[in-house]
Amino acid sequence: MKPRFTFVLVAAALALAGSAQAAPAEDYIAANKCGKCHTEKTTKKGPSFASLAAKYKGDAGATAKLLNTLKTGGSVDHDKATGSDADLQAVITFILASK
Q: Which of the stretches 7-15, 16-24, 42-50 binds ligand HEC when contact is defined by CB under 6 A?
A: 42-50
- 14 vs 35 by CB, closer to ligand HEC: 35
- Taking the complex as a whole, how short is the minimal distance between the CB of residue 24 and ligand HEC, in angstroms? 13
Please report whether residue 32 would count as binding ligand HEC according to CB under 6 A.
yes
- Taking the complex as a whole, how short is the minimal distance between the CB of residue 71 and ligand HEC, in angstroms? 10
The total of other beta-carbon atoms located within 10 Å of residue 13's CB is 10
| CA dihedral over 97, 56, 51, 80, signed as positive or negative | positive
Please report whether residue 85 would count as binding ligand HEC according to CB under 6 A.
no
Phi, psi (degrees; rounded to nearest 5) at 38: -125, 145
- 15 vs 33 by CB, closer to ligand HEC: 33
For ligand HEC, which residue of 11, 12, 36, 54 counts as binding (CB under 6 A)?
Answer: 36
Is residue 58 within 8 Å of residue 79, measured between CB atoms? no
Please report whether residue 45 would count as binding ligand HEC according to CB under 6 A.
yes
69-83 burial, b if ≥16 CB within 10 A, otherwise e? bbeeeeeeebeebee
